[in-house]
Structure 1
Amino acid sequence: MCGMPQQPPVRSSAARPRRPDASMSLITNVMDHSLDDGYAEAAARKKSWGEGGLPKTLRAKLGLAGGLVLAALVVTVGAAQARVAAPVVAKEHQELIDRVDKETADADKLQSGVDKLRDDVSARQRAALRSSGGSAEADLVGMLSGATEVHGPGIKLVVNDAKEASTGGDGTNPRETAGFSDTGRVRDRDLQRVANGLWASGAEAVSVNGQRLTALSAIRAAGDAILVDNRPLVPPYTVLAVGNGPRLSSDFQNSGDGLYLHALEQNYGIRATISTEHDVRLPAAPSVIVRTAQPVPDSADAKNSKNAKSSKNTEKTEKGTS
């Protein structure tokens, strides 16, 4: 029996194992190509520039140098502008100084004219009083009221600020809480107490820096300045008083106001000196205003007025008796 030729058995090859992530091709592609091509190109370009450009330290130095040049330019331009404006500012400043000096001179000239006219009026008043029967009593009233110039023995008291006087205070000392400030400066109330102390010690006439004090005078403050009858004074303050020099000096220094001044010297550095003078001269007060006045009757009118009052009293007595 013929049989068909026997074919050798076909040997099947073993199948290749399958990748576990074969079904996750998208995720695999993302993992293998995490950087986009565009980003990769930009990073490569930046790297090439860094390698071929300037070193970082050199770039930093160039930046600093550029900043310094710019600052120097700004300063130079500012200095040039200031140099150009300086003559203009100096000229305006000098013009203001000249204007103030001129106005001050004009004011002093006018004040001098006023003083001369006032002296002339006072002289005419005294002449009129003498011609109308003026007496020594009238002269005494004029002296005490400050209407006439006086001179005679007395004392000279100089009160000055402390050597290191300043402005302002901290509000923690007795003087400041009482209306003063511990600045080493003489205050208006200090001069008020000095003037009142001299009057109480027997002074017949008092002046401060040439300003005659009267019963209507006011010593006030305007900031750090002291005003006497609205006229500003500057230290040192020279106080002149007419009277019995030795007694006036002793009585004032032993009085409460004199002890107050001594306390200012000891505690706040205020400087004060007092001396006896053989002859001090005090000017008349700038203006003495007569507020009310009554004519003084002569002897005949006074006698008639007295007789009239006596007769009226007699009539009243008779009516009361009847």
Structure 2
Amino acid sequence: MSLITNVMDHSLDDGYAEAAARRKAQGEAGGLPKTLRAKLGLASGLVLAALVVTVGAAQARVAAPVVAKERQELIDRIDRETSAADKLEGDVDKLRDDVSERQRAALSKSGGSGQADLVGVLSGATAVHGPGVKLVVNDAKEATTGGGGNPRETADFSDTGRVRDRDMQRVVNGLWASGAEAVSINGQRLTALSAIRAAGDAILVDNKPLVPPYTVLAVGDAKKLSTRFQNSADGLYLHALEENYGIRTSISTESDVRVPAAPSVIVRTAQPSTEKGTS
């Protein structure tokens, strides 16, 4: 009990008490200076600080119009360059359309009307419409919401619910093998020379990036095409992705599917060889 009583009676350490008493004896600390020299020093410091602030404000005021002018010049330059880039892009689109039109005209001269139509369909040079299937492939919900971390941080993101380029390759190849006559992904017509690949995190079709969901349209016998694809190895592969990784898919038969023409078709010609083969 005596120890507790001593702690309660002497809550302030003796050293602190002695220091407080010593400061009190010497006068209040932190007050204004008493001597003339100290007062002059304080006044000089205040004047110097005010001078520095005043000079800085004056320089900032003088430099403000210059900075504003340089900023406006930079904005104007960006606007000019953007307009020039837009004009060049428009010119490229016009030239691309002209080239595509000339290529289609060259294909139409390859033979009779029936043969020309068939060549145009097979090469992707002409738009196609008719019965077919609509297949939508989308990332898993966990991948699109970003739950559990960023699925793009891993090189092999198949187990994170994201659709990969080789998944779409199998889907398209499965549709071709099931009897599709024309196929497009998100409005991009696929031809015999089309490439589906990945560039970083994006899926590219003929070097054009696509954004999920991926809508695949295929022209053909709707019921047979749908049944054959779902029963094929590629259809079962897509079903396995849905079951194991949560990738969302839906397939439906359509009475009229419209597939656009390919934006650029490379025209190639072939001639029969004049040399006789040996048996």
**TM-score band (shorter)?**
0.5 to 0.7
Indicate yes or no: 2:274 matched with 1:274.
Answer: no
Structure 1 residues 180, 163: closer, same or farther in 2, change over 3 A? closer
- Give TM-score scaled by structure 1 length: 0.55
| Structure-2 separation of matches of 1:225 and 1:47 | 71
- Residue correspondence of structure 1 range 85-164 to structure 2 within 5 A: 106=87, 109-110=90-91, 112-129=93-110, 133-164=111-142
* Higher-RCO chain (CA-CA 8 Å, sequence separation at least 6): 2
In structure 1, the partner of 2:210 is 233
Over 3 Å counting, the alpha-carbon distance change for 1:264 and 1:91 in structure 2 is: farther
CA 1:205–1:127 in 2, change beyond 3 Å: closer, same or farther? closer
Say whether residues 1:52 and 2:35 are aligned partners: no
Distance in 2 between residues matched to 1:100 and 1:185, nearest whole Å = 37
Residues of 2 paired with 1:195 and 1:105: CA distance?
34
Gaps of 5+ in 1: 1-45, 60-83, 297-304, 314-322
- Distance in 1 between residues matched to 2:224 and 2:141, nearest whole Å: 30
Moved more, 198-207 or 137-146: 137-146
- Matching residue of 2:6: none
Distance across 2 between alignment mates of 1:102 and 1:269: 44
Q: Which consecutive unaligned segments of at least 5 residues does structure 2 have?
A: 1-18, 32-63
| C-alpha deviation, 1:142, in angstroms | 2.5
Match of 1:283 among 251, 257, 260: 260
User: 2: distance between equivalents of 1:47 and 1:210?
Assistant: 84
Aligned-pair RMSD on alpha carbons? Answer: 4.1
TM-score, with structure 2 as normaliser: 0.63
1:105 to partner: Cα distance: 5.3
Superposed counterparts of 1:1-322, under 5 Å: 49-50=22-23, 52-53=25-26, 106=87, 109-110=90-91, 112-129=93-110, 133-165=111-143, 166=146, 167-168=150-151, 179-294=156-271
CA 1:47–1:227 in 2, change beyond 3 Å: closer, same or farther? closer
Task: Find the aligned partners of 1:55 and 1:277 in 2 and give their Cα distance.
Answer: 93
CA distance in 1, matches of 2:100, 2:114: 20
Q: Is the 8 A contact 2:107 2:120 kept in 1?
A: no
Q: Percent identity, please.
A: 62
Task: Say if 1:126 and 1:215 are closer, same or farther in 2 by CA, change over 3 A.
Answer: closer
